[in-house]
Amino acid sequence: MGVGPRHVQFVARTVLVKKNNVEEGMRVLNRLMGKEGLLDRYRLTRHYEKPTQMRRRVNFEKAKAIYNEDMDRKIALVMRKNRLNPWVGSA
């Protein structure tokens, strides 16, 4: 589906709907596509992105990724403690 080598129709990017609960299905689909970055990619292609803008965006994303990785590691370190239940609040 989409431009270029097509994905398998009705198998990729598909959500099965139960009892006509369309809203739930649509939300799941949107969430997955959002997480993958496909919706943002689509929004970018609506208008032409000049090479200078593309370079700025890519560099910003690289810097953000580095920061996020280091921050996640820091959080993981801080969370590491000898507790009976280290993940309080989750199932």
Partner 1 sequence: MIVGASCRSRLPPFHFKEESVVNVVYLVSVLWKSVKMLRRVVARGLWSGHGAVRTSVEQRNKEIRTHQDIAAKLLVGWRSCDGFRGLHVTPSCYKTQDRKEMLASMPVKDEGTEGEVTQGLDTSLEGSGGMFPDEDTPNLLCDGVRFADLPILHARVSKNNTMLTLTDGKGMVKLYRSCGVEGFKNAKKGTNIAAQATAISLATRALNQGIKTVRVKVSGIGPGRMAAVKGLTMGGLNVVSITDDTPISFNYSQRPRKARKL
Residues 13 and 7: beta-carbon distance below 8 Å: yes
Contacts (CB under 8 A) with partner 1, residues 29-68 = 29-31, 33-34, 38-39, 41-43, 45-49
> Is the CB of 41 or the CB of 74 nearer to partner 1?
41
Kindly state the smallest distance separating residue 4's Cβ from partner 1, in Å: 7
- Toward partner 1, which CB reaches closer, 41 or 73? 41
How far is CA 85 from each of CA 20, 27, 42, 78, 81, rounded to the nearest angstrom? 40, 32, 42, 15, 10
For 1, half-sphere exposure in the C-beta direction (CA atoms, 13 angstrom radius) is 8
User: Coil, strand, or helix at residue 84?
Assistant: coil
Tell the smallest beta-carbon distance from residue 15 to partner 1 (Å): 5
Which positions touch partner 1 (CB under 8 A)?
1-4, 9-11, 13-18, 20, 22-23, 25-31, 33-34, 38-39, 41-43, 45-49, 90-91
